[in-house]
Every structure is written in C-alpha cells, then in structure tokens.
Structure 1
C-alpha cells in the first residue's frame, strides 16, 4: 500500500479525531485549516513556552507549527528577517548573527517560537525598556491563514487596520504562518546588577527609567531590598568596568545554603512517579497550567550542587504557605543578591533573558505610568500598596515580584496599547507562587493561596490603576465570565475584534473556551 501524502495524513488526523497535527509547509497548513473549516471543528494553534494559562490549548483540535521552523529570508539592507512562525527565537538569532543583526528585545525565555514570541498565540510578549515597545511592534508583515478568507498577507500597506489587530489576536483570527520582523544591529550590553532600597528607588527612579535602555526591578517581599538590573549598549571604544569578584560562588550562596541546612539537612528524595509528577515535568513545553522555569531539576541533588534559584525552590518547599518561613527565605535571597552585585558584558540576546525559577503560578498585569518626560508615579505607588497589602494580610509571597516597563504598542489588543497617547510608558508587574513539591494536596493548597494573592490585585489595585492582565497569564476560568468580559470591553476594541473574528472565522473554529469567555460572540 502506498503511504499517504503529508496532506492526506494531516486530513486523516483531523477527520479521525486525532487532536494534534503538525504541517510542514504553508500548503499543508492551508489545507488543514480548510478541512477544519469545512467540518466546523476546532483547530487551535499551539506554540512553545508561551502561555502559562493554557491560552493556546483546545482538546478538540490543535495545530503545532514546530515543523514550520525555517528562516525564509534576511534583508540586511532593510534589517528585516522573514521566518516561518514555528522557528524558535534562539535559532533565528543565530542565523541573524552573520548579518550583524539581532532582535530589538527579548522576553525571559529564548525557547519560545517566533509566532508566539510575537503574536501567534498572540499574547503580546515583552522585554523591558521604557522606550522599547512590546515585541508585536517589531512585526512589519505577516501571513495569516484564515478559515473564512483564505491566506492573507498583511502589513502597514496592505490592510493596515487588520494588520495591527492581528499582531495581538490571541490566535482567534487565524493561524499566522510567516512573520517579517524589523531587526536592529547586533550589539553588546553592559549589565549592572545591584541591590537598592525603596527609599533610594523613589528618589532615583525617574532618572533610572530615562537613562537606562533596559531596566527591571525585583522586589523582595518582607525585606527592604529591591534588586535592580540595568542593561545599556557598550559604547564603541569604551572599556567596560572590570568584573569585581567580591564573593566566590560558594560565598554568594552561603546564606541560602545555611538556611537550608538548618531546615532540611537531608537531600529531598526524588518524587514518586504519578500524575502530579508527570504534569510537572511536562509543564512548560506547551505552557499549560502553571509556568515552568529554569530552576527545577534539583530533586535529590546535594546542597553544594544547587544554583541560587534551585536553593530558593528547595527552601520554599520546606513550608511554602508559612508567611514567617517565606519571609526568612526572602531575606536570605536578598543577601544572596547583595553578594552577587556587579557587572558583566555580553550580546543582547545572552543578557536579556533570565532564569524564572522552577514551576510557578504567575499573574502579570500592565498599566500606564505617565511618560518619560512626565512620569505619573503610578508604577511605584502600585508596588508600595501591593507590598503593604500582602504584609497586612500575611500572604506567604515569595521573591521576586518582578517589575518591568515598555513603551506603548499600536496593536489595539495589546495590554500596552494607549490610543491617543503614544508616548505613554507602561509598567508590568508579575506576582508568583512556586510549586516546588509533587504532593498533590500541597500543590492544590498553593494554588488556592495563589488565587487569594491574585485577588489583592484584581479586586482593588487593578481597577484603580487601570491595569489589565498579560493575555498569557489571565486565568479566565477563575474569573466571573460576565464581569471579566465587561471589563475587557471597556479597555479594548472588542466589537471590532469580534467583527474581525466573524469575518475571518465565521464558524469560530479558531477560538477555545478561554477566548470565548473573554470575548463572547453574539449568537446572531
């Protein structure tokens, strides 16, 4: 018997109810979307390392573009690169190096697929820098495969309104097959990491935000420590500061090791196999549920072999919901950072990513904070209130609470959109709770505690500061549907978004239950 063609195999996968397919070419993807549209069945595009909330998932039908991962063209003169959406960020960066180019900014994880990094799951990924917009702003062209209107090639010159809408479309307008990105010359950065205090931050924040190309804060609850990380281009001909080795690696980690030796002198055993273990080890590749970072994999390892984030995870596991214990862990973490102050130099793609730690629940929100010329102070006021609230309520909040900044985006569905105020700076604040245990009951308790923590933001701070969730971190099933959809309809052009959905996807095959909760379409 002759083997089926790739297109026939993809069609068979869909027709027989197989839930995940992987086209290898634009033509195969077009046929797959057409077949799903004809049958009226779901087909949700899923990437890699993109959406901790499972925004990409749909049990009824998924398509992965992991096999559509080629760099199609590099235009060195225009500083642009065209790639298939399944290409991973790090692979694209390596192919840009010979041309002296790189991407303008980077999120924390370089294993993301370009489609998801920019907009395939269309979550509005971002790095940090008050003059640098979210990543969707670097898209200058895209190829969108739609159920209702076939394949569209969009740009600022070809249907500009739909182009801007599709740059952050939550995967609900079609499948983005190809993306053209505006690049910048490859450059090295000088990174400076130091520990500040709230008092110093309040005094110097406006200047730091203006003077640094990239800056982020890591607030450490139950301490006065604020870890500040800045990155700025190395000026040609200048000599960057020499690294100062004040502490050895062992001395840096000593505060964390000492606390762990006091609390849990014996190494933690490997977890027994089971559903929780399997789920934990799988989290991150597709991004379902709690996010997976780079700090895991420490079970059973001796203390001296653990990295700083692994030591923190191991310490949290001792008593993850005890406020006093977490406060001690945070204070040891703050001392670890004080001993890690210093400088380093590297290429931008090597420095702007960072270790997020182990498995975690995360909520990130964005809100306006004035302009660089006229800052409103909302960013620091938000943090002061949040830190005071969690202390008052005794929440076992681990470190860090991360704060970053971006310029505005012209994509109307971006959390950093600012219609009529393009100079607006947006602050992004992320809260976390780690899942350092495989015990199902304890994971459930941590999960419940995390969503109590979230309510500090959602019930009070978010409405007052005009904040909205990062699309990949909004837990729609934990929110009251009518309330969240009404709130989003005030913040975003939902009628226009749903009109585009109706035109491009008349049978609503591209949406999943998360999208339908957030943006319900009229039955008519």
Structure 2
C-alpha cells in the first residue's frame, strides 16, 4: 500500500491539506488479499496525521504499513491511512541504547541507521520490509526461548486518537495499563505515530544448519532450547526430516570460527532439478535457485498428495546437503527468504517455562507433542501439506493482546503451516486457497482447544461459518 501511495497522483483531499488517492485496488504482498479502497491518505507530517484522525469526517479509517500481512489486517474499503511518508529516525540515545522514530520507518532502514552507533534491534521477523508501527502492533516475533515478541521492546509510544489533543504519550511509567494494551493493539486504540525502541549492542551470530529426525528432535530439544540463543525447526511434512537452524552470538574479542566451504549450490539443488526434469521436462531449470525450483515443482500439481510428497522429499534432500555454518551480523542471519507467494497460518501456544530442568523421564513438552499430533493429522487426512512447517519460540509478552501473553519466564511456541501459490491462473489459486482453509480448519478442529492455540494477528482470518465465527469471537 505504501508503494502505491508513494506513486499515486493525489487528486482529492480534505480541507486541512491532507490528500488522498483516488479509489483504487490495494493488494498485499502475496496477492491473497485486496481491497477496493475509497480513500488512501498519506500524511507527511504528524500535524497532518492528527488533523486527519481528529477531523470526524470518516466513519472508518485504518492505518496501514507495508501491506505485508497475509490476512490484509490493515485493509479497509472505507479508508486507509498510509504511514509510509512518516518514516524518520528522530533520535538515537547511545547511552540508553534506544532509538526514537516515526511509525512508518522501515525495519531495514532503521537497522542501517543504527549501525554507525554500534546498535541493532533485539530480534527480527523473517523479513525486514515491515514498518516499525505494524511490526510492533501485530506482535511480530523472531525466535529465541528467552527473547520476547517485538512489542516488548517498545519503551514509549505516542498514539493519535479521535478525541483531540496532541496525542497520548504512553510508557510503563505513564499510563502503564493503557501502554500494555497499546503496545500490541493492532491500531485499535489509535494510530501509532512515534515509538521509542530498546536496542541491543550490534553483534555477530554464528549460525548452524543441520537436519535431524523427529526422534532426535524429541531427544535433544530441551538441551538445544537452552544451548542456543536463537533456534527454529523446519519440519518437512510426509518425511522424517526436520531442519534445525540455530545460532549464538560471538562474544566480544572472540575470533570468528573458520568457515569451511560447503557443498556447491549446483550439487545442493540436484534432487529438485532431477525431479523437475521428470515431471515437467519442458521447463528449463538452468539458473533457478532453490525457491524457484520448488515453485516450479509445486506448480505441476500443488494439491496432489503423492506429488507433494515427492517435492517434499526432494526438499528434504536439499537441506541434508545444506548443513553447515556461517557468521554474519544478527540482522543478516535472522532475516531469511520466506519463498514465493503463499498462504500461511501461524499459531502460538504456551509450553511451560525454562526455569526448571525437566526430568529425563518427563512427558514431551507441549510444543513437540503438538508437532507429533499435527504431523499425524496430516498423514491421517492425506493433506497435501507444503514445506516447511516452521516452529519458533519466544518468551512471554506483557501485552494482553499478544498471542504470547505471559510472564517474562514463560515459554511460547509459534507454528506456521503453509501452502504456496505458484500459479497465476485464478481458478488454480482459488483451489489452493480452499484447500488451505480446510487445512487450517482441520488443525483448529483437532488441536485448537487442547493446546489453547492463538492466531498471529497478521494471519488470523475471519470465519464465515456462523458457528465457527461465534467460537472465534468468544475466544478473542
């Protein structure tokens, strides 16, 4: 939406000089959500923002960031407010390790602005194109058992509300209850105009990638959760392969480990190239990377279970050939390629804490028990589940609206299922969409209540079935 606003010809406005684009279609990154919006406003100053929100002329106005959310959380046909031009970094306090910025500042630009000061953000989600307002308001997260979702790094914030005045400045010392609600407020309490974010010292991470079986994961899980500052699992459905990606910071003064060159890219993608030549001989795989090869393979028959099993097996072999180590700055390590256009549904649920060592004979923690049952469900119902199913962890957030709301020592697991949209043919995209909705509904029917699943705010979908909608409202 911001890209659209930046190049739109503003032809209509309100009497305070804040202009809006003509009615036009705005689409999210995956092309899965679109809205025919009557007005898209793009204020350039906080004064324009305040006048717009407080004018009383609009029955509905929703702030939008980079329009990345899979569910189009910011989309509203009656009016949207782009924060893309309010993108300044206002102040860096090196002593407190804090940065004050406007809500439209993008994660990528903020990181580069902090670099000369020897600071960086505590954690990152998978991509860095988010605006800081949306990044915090939906409770985005990275991974690390002792690291909270990003809303917990907000130290102070300013929100503009329709009631008038210069806006509310909130912090843990000033209006603490409202502050907790507003940190992860999905824009419902007002438009976030400014944020002060707690940073950390810039640091390099040593990242390790390897594969394991589900049995090995269950045996080593408690050790790995404590051993690595950041860890995620990528489960490959219909296989016995789990990809583990884990990292720890280099300590000050520590020499970087010597990196041994791994298998060449051409060798790593061989299993996918071989399969593509079998199932789509007219497609030239030359110069295709891993993600492109997977898209081309899935395009052949994305909803055929047996075909998806073959694709997933080839992906598992790719990851077995990709084991290795790398060293880089944390922002380069923690951001990663999510693949092509896709549907994704991510849930969070509590899984205890890490304070007490679990006895060796203790039952499986809920995070791995959930994955065991989810994988069994996929096999039982022969779901054409694309890879990977990504599993990450955070500590609790003090924000009541966070899916990971809890005490600082609580542990929460986040699990995302996925289906790619490798085709431009609308009928085929619709079929994948319907299959994915059925996949997500089955997950909630089978496991939702048992594990107290809460959906990520940027990925929750409004139910259409009256009974499901009633249950969804009660849960929220």
- CA distance in structure 1 between the aligned counterparts of 2:333 and 2:19, rounded to whole angstroms: 43
Q: Residues 447-498 of structure 1: CA distance to partner in whole angstroms, max 9, x if unpaired?
A: 111111112221121110111100110111445322211112xxxxxxxxxx
CA contact (8 A) 1:49 1:111 kept: no
Displacement of 1:148 after TM fit?
2.1
Q: Tell me, what secondary structure is at the counterpart of 1:8? A: coil
Which whole-Å CA distance do the structure 2 matches of 1:18 and 1:53 have between them?
Answer: 19
Equivalence for 2:44: 24
SS at match of 1:68: coil
Q: 1:40-86: CA deviations, max 9, x gaps?
A: 42111011154210110101000101000000000000000001000
SS at match of 1:443: helix
Alignment of 1:360-379 (within 5 A): 360-374=342-356, 377-379=365-367
**1:400-415 equivalence runs, <5 A:** 400-415=388-403
| Alpha-carbon separation, structure 2, partners of 1:307 and 1:11 | 43
- Which of 403, 424, 440 lines up with 1:438 in the alignment? 424
Distance 1:206 1:233 in 2: 20
**Cα distance in structure 1, aligned partners of 2:338 and 2:127:** 8
1:347 corresponding residue in structure 2: 329
Counterpart among 167, 173, 178 of residue 157 in structure 1: 173
Tell me the C-alpha RMSD between the 2 structures: 1.9
Q: Which residue of 2 aligns with 1:416?
A: 404
- Aligned-pair CA distance for 1:149: 4.6
Greater relative contact order (Cα 8 A, min sep 6): structure 1 or 2? 1
Q: Whole-Å Cα distance in 2 between the matches of residues 379 and 4 of structure 1?
A: 52
Aligned residue for 1:292? none
Distance 1:21 1:432, change over 3 A: same
Structure 1 stretches lacking a partner, 5+ long = 268-301, 489-524
Shift of 1:6: 9.3
- 8 A contact 1:49–1:109 mirrored in 2: no
Displacement after TM superposition at 1:405 (Å): 0.1
The DSSP-based 3-state class of the residue aligned with 1:313 is helix
Write out aligned runs for 1:90-489 (5 A). 90-119=108-137, 123-150=138-165, 151-267=167-283, 302-374=284-356, 377-418=365-406, 421-478=407-464, 480-488=468-476
The 1:386/1:31 distance shift into structure 2, 3 A limit, reads same
- 1:33 corresponds to which of 48, 53, 67: 53
Question: Deviations along 1:139-164, whole A, 9 cap, x unmatched?
Answer: 00011000125411111111010011
Please, which of 9, 23, 42 is the counterpart of residue 17 of structure 2? 9
Deviation at 1:231, TM superposition (A): 1.2
Instruction: Report what 1:503 is aligned to.
Output: none
Structure 2: give runs of 5+ residues left out of the alignment: 1-10, 24-36, 359-363
CA deviation profile, 1:121-146 (whole Å, cap 9, x unmatched): xx110000000000000000011000
1:42 lines up with 2:60 in the alignment: yes
Which structure's residues are more often helix, by fraction?
Answer: 1
Quick one: structure 1 residues 31 and 13, their matched pair in 2 at CA, closer, same or farther if it must change by over 3 Å?
A: farther
Is 1:69 matched with 2:95? no
State how many pairs are aligned: 444
Deviation of the 1:170 alpha carbon: 1.2
Residue 34 of structure 2 is matched in structure 1 by: none
- Deviation, 1:183, is 0.3
| SS of 2:269 mapped into structure 1 | helix
- Alpha-carbon distance in 2 for matches of 1:458, 1:226: 23
Contact 1:88–1:114, Cα closer than 8 Å, also in 2:
yes
- Answer whether contact 1:359 1:436 (CA < 8 A) is retained: yes
Contact (CA 8 Å) 2:159, 2:192: kept in 1 or not? yes
Q: For residues 96 and 255 of structure 1, do their structure 2 counterparts lie closer, same or farther at Cα, with a shift above 3 Å needed?
A: same
Cα distance, 1:89 vs. partner? 0.3
* Alpha carbons 1:410, 1:417 under 8 Å: kept: yes
Contact 1:110 1:353 in 2 (8 A): yes
Instruction: Tell me the secondary structure at the aligned position of residue 17 of structure 2.
Output: helix
Distance 1:18 1:325, change over 3 A: closer
- The answer to whether the Cα contact below 8 Å between 1:189 and 1:345 also exists between their aligned partners in 2 is yes
1: CA distance, partners of 2:164 / 2:415: 38
Paired residue secondary structure (2:90): strand
- Are the structure 2 counterparts of residues 223 and 11 from structure 1 closer, same or farther at C-alpha, using a change threshold of 3 Å? closer
Cα contact 1:242–1:343 (8 A) shared by 2: no
Distance 1:263 1:308, change over 3 A: same
Given the two structures, how large is their TM-score scaled by the length of structure 1?
Answer: 0.82
Matched residue SS, 2:375: helix
Q: Residue 504 of structure 1 corresponds to which residue in structure 2? A: none
Displacement of 1:237 in angstroms is 3.3
Q: Is the 8 A contact 2:19 2:42 kept in 1?
A: no
**Counterpart Cα distance in 1 of 2:444 and 2:120:** 37
SS of match in other structure, 1:183: strand
Q: 1:78 to 1:324 in 2, by over 3 A?
A: same
